[in-house]
Chain A
Amino acid sequence: MSTPVSTTGLPPAAFALAAHAVEATGVGKVFTTRAGAVTALEDVHLTIGAGEFVALIGPSGCGKSTLLRLIADLDTPTSGELTVFGRSPRAAREAQDYGIAFQQAGLLPWRSVRANIELPLELHGVGRSGRTVRSTELLELVGLTEFAGHFPHQLSGGMQQRVAIARSLAEQPSLLLMDEPFGALDEMTRERMQTELVRICAESRAAVVFVTHSIPEAVFLADRVVVMSPRPGRIAEVVPITLTRDAAGRDEDLREDATFFAAVTRVREALHGDGHVRAARGVDVR
């Protein structure tokens, strides 16, 4: 981000804020249930720059999905300040600043694969020809061109998840929220989708908040890996990833690189806390 020239009369602080995709200051979330209060998140401080790729990793139930839902304005924080592109999450949602892929694919079963991908475009008034052009590109991208006319129940779980990913990319959002989108994919498709995602984000300059259970995946994709700890959910450590990348982004050789393994080890240690190995439930440490 270059320094903005003040022509709109906004104070410089507003521009500084607008430069960040997400800014969380002391964010907390307490769910009040019949069984009592559950503190899902506590005192979360996190700033995600525009175009930055941040992976969230942590044991099951540490509040990763909750944090994503707060950013998406599907839930509201019970404490702290949260802004998305310098405005309230609600305003950002209404302005359609982000695309989202949920932990479940969440496709509409009565719509074809193509119509599912086109849903956000249809909701926001994109014409039929524009939708067809875009969905054709996206079908190609996720490798489902032959399945355009199929219905979700005719696809495997991994294929459904790819449709959901294509849908989240439909409007080329400046912020992508993804909750374990590759969880249901086989290893080969997963690696291909990871490479594609890196390329898409490099091209579109989109910021990404990416929840995962896989340490290698987090390291391969992210500029920073945010390691969370449970009960109450909080940020345990933020591991910056500095991998030697070529001009076209990260290529396949990287997965074999020594710096890659060094980063994996650092995230693993952060997850297990202070070097001693504690069982981090639900985390895939392959």
Chain B
Amino acid sequence: MRAVTVALRQWAPPLVLGLAFLLAWQALVVGAEIKPYLLPSPTAIGTQLALVAPLVWTSALATGANVLVGIVLGTAVAIVAAVAAARSGVVDELMSPTAAAVSVMPIVALAPVLNTMFGTTSTTPRRLIVAIVVFAPVFVTTLRGLRQVQPVHRDLMRAYAASPRQLSRLVTIPGALPYLFTGLRIASSTAVISAVVAEYFGGLQNGLGSRITSAAANSAYARAWAFVLGAIALGLVFYLATLALERAAARRTGG
């Protein structure tokens, strides 16, 4: 009984607010007779969403796969680079400016170039774009984490004559994990945005981005919005998943 009231108190306000927002939207579109290409009504979007739901689902899977592969690839490269940078000052001097440069690189400029490089029937350009976007934040936070070894832990491992490998495996890397996951959480939203935007520049027509552009090009505005909803849901899924990872890692280290 108590759990129900608590849940109600927690969920009721945003639900009521959301509902009020949708009602106002509907009233505005119907009352002011706004043209669908400017703003379709929520009911029109809802109808379309029900109609193309299977397509939204498969498109979300296609885009989601690109995001996932890109995140894994970008994270792997970032971890290797951060470990190397933490070990050697030279690598650090090379990598840190590179990461800064990569982090300001506009994906909008990169997408067409990669499309011509890898051909328009490949998912590689999209995955690479996600990997590039993920690399910088994960590299920066992981490197910071690797540098956070407490002096008392360093002394302890030295006192027990631990090898550099043991120091990495037992102290440095576990200590850096929460930082890594924070980087990943920060990167997750941009990763989804990049994967969707990368599809705006041609290539395979299987993802959410491609569907949005083609629906808009065919004046099916309500349908375009249905796919936008899919993109929002996909972004939420990745954000919540990485947030859960980050929380779990922080809990393990007592943070």
CB–CB A96/B161 < 8 A: yes
Q: Smallest Cβ distance from B164 to chain A, in angstroms?
A: 12
Which residues of B approach A to under 8 Å, CB–CB?
A: 150, 152-153, 155-162, 166, 170-171, 174-175, 177, 252-254
B254: which of A73, A120, A153 is its contact (CB, 8 Å)? A153
Given A96-B161, A123-B162, A124-B160, residue A109 in contact with residue B253 (CB < 8 A): yes
CB–CB A74/B155 < 8 A: yes
A153 vs B255: C-alpha distance when bound (angstroms): 9
Q: Which residues of A have CB within 8 Å of B152?
A: 102, 104, 106
A74: which of B150, B158, B174, B177 is its contact (CB, 8 Å)? B158
Q: Does A246 belong to the interface (CB within 8 Å)? A: no
Q: Which residue of B lies closest to A69 (CB)?
A: B155
Q: Smallest Cβ distance from B171 to chain A, in angstroms?
A: 7
Q: Which residues of B have CB within 8 Å of A72?
A: 159
B166: which of A74, A104, A123, A152 is its contact (CB, 8 Å)? A123
Q: Does A280 belong to the interface (CB within 8 Å)? A: no
Q: Which residues of A have CB within 8 Å of B170?
A: 108, 119, 122-123
A219 vs B92: C-alpha distance when bound (angstroms): 52
Q: Beta-carbon contacts of A120-153 to B below 8 Å, as 1s and 0s? A: 1011100000000000000000000000000111
User: Other CB < 8 Å A-B pairs besides A74-B155, A102-B152, A123-B160, 19 of them?
Assistant: A74-B158, A74-B159, A93-B158, A93-B159, A93-B161, A96-B161, A98-B159, A102-B156, A106-B150, A106-B152, A106-B155, A108-B153, A108-B174, A109-B253, A110-B174, A110-B253, A120-B160, A124-B160, A154-B254
Q: Does A94 belong to the interface (CB within 8 Å)? A: yes
A93 vs B177: C-alpha distance when bound (angstroms): 30
Which secondary structure dominates chain B's binding surface? helix
The size bracket of the interface on A is: 20 to 34
Q: Which residues of B have CB within 8 Å of A119?
A: 156, 160, 170
Q: Which residues of B have CB within 8 Å of A123?
A: 157, 160-162, 166, 170
Q: Which residue of B lies closest to A104 (CB)?
A: B152
Which residues of A approach B to under 8 Å, CB–CB?
A: 69, 72-74, 93-94, 96, 98, 100, 102, 104, 106, 108-110, 119-120, 122-124, 151-154
Q: Smallest Cβ distance from B191 to chain A, in angstroms?
A: 27
Q: Which interface residue of A96, A98, A110, A152 has the most chain B CB atoms within 10 A?
A: A110
Q: Smallest Cβ distance from B8 to chain A, in angstroms?
A: 32
Q: Return 29 A-B CB contacts under 8 Å, by A number.
A: A69-B155, A73-B159, A74-B155, A74-B159, A93-B158, A93-B159, A96-B160, A96-B161, A100-B156, A100-B159, A102-B155, A106-B152, A106-B156, A108-B153, A108-B171, A108-B174, A110-B174, A110-B175, A110-B177, A110-B252, A119-B160, A122-B170, A123-B157, A123-B160, A123-B161, A123-B162, A123-B166, A123-B170, A153-B254
A100 vs B153: C-alpha distance when bound (angstroms): 12
Q: Which residues of A have CB within 8 Å of B150?
A: 106
Q: Smallest Cβ distance from B200 to chain A, in angstroms?
A: 42
Q: Which residues of A have CB within 8 Å of B158?
A: 73-74, 93
CB–CB A152/B254 < 8 A: yes
Q: Smallest Cβ distance from A257 to chain B, in angstroms?
A: 36
Q: Give the 9 A-B CB pairs with smallest separation, nearest first.
A: A153-B254, A106-B152, A109-B253, A110-B174, A109-B254, A100-B159, A123-B160, A94-B161, A120-B160
